[in-house]
């Protein structure tokens, strides 16, 4: 990525962090000290900028989740760490989350595809983790895949709800989701 394009992406990120779904190309261009046509020259269109922002934040989130999946201490510790990693990420940048999930993904099919792809990729990685989890024994690969994709959707939907309920402490949401998931793992 060129230095200029990187600088423009940083400006866009600052606006999105402040404005969330209300971020506009005019605000982003003003933050960068340029005109909208120059912004479009670097990203092609609004969707190009949205996809670049999505890629940046999705890669960061996926890295956090991958780290949590290898937490030591057994199944319960890994479950809690992974749920907490997701919620901590969206809590630390709620405006970015809202922008990507509720504005960019609605306006640009490419961003929606990127978000969907992230959930699928994470589901696939989680399935591999479930299949190799010693506490679950020799789990059927289909079961692991179905569970993993269900868990990914469950945590994402709960996180979306939770951002609208700041009175609920993150620790409480992590504890409740973890308890539900761990109980489900033990039912097999």
Q: What is the DSSP string of 58-96?
A: HHHHHHHHHHHHT-SS-HHHHHHHHHHHHHHHHHHSHHH
Domain ranges of the chain: 47-187
Given the candidates 3.40.50.620, 1.10.357.10, 2.60.320.10, 3.40.250.10, the CATH classification of the domain at 47-187 is 1.10.357.10
**Tens digits of per-residue pLDDT, 139-165?**
999 999 999 999 999 999 999 999 999
Task: Give the predicted TM-score (pTM) of the model.
Answer: 0.85
| Per-residue confidence (pLDDT) for residue 188, from 0 to 100 | 41
**Tens digits of per-residue pLDDT, 69-104?**
899 998 999 999 999 999 999 999 999 888 888 877
Query: Among 17-21, 69-73, 105-109, 177-181, which range has the highest average pLDDT?
Result: 177-181
Give the mean pLDDT of the chain.
Answer: 90
């Amino acid at each position: 990525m060129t230095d200029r394009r990187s600088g423009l992406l940083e400006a866009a990120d600052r606006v999105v962090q402040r404005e969330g779904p209300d971020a506009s190309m005019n605000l982003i261009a003003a933050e960068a000290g340029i005109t909208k046509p120059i912004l479009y020259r670097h990203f092609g269109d609004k969707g190009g900028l949205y996809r670049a922002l999505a890629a940046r934040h999705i890669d960061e989130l996926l890295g956090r989740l991958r780290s949590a999946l290898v937490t030591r201490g057994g199944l319960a510790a890994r479950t809690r760490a992974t749920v907490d990693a997701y919620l901590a990420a969206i809590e630390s940048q709620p405006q970015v989350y809202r922008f990507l999930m509720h504005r960019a993904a609605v306006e640009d099919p490419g961003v929606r595809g990127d978000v969907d792809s992230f959930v699928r990729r994470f589901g696939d990685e989680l399935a591999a983790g479930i299949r190799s989890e010693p506490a679950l024994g020799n789990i059927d690969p289909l079961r692991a895949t179905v569970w993993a994709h269900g868990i990914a959707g469950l945590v994402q939907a709960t996180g979306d709800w939770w951002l609208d309920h700041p009175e609920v402490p993150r620790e409480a949401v992590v504890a409740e989701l973890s308890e539900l998931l761990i109980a489900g793992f033990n039912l097999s």
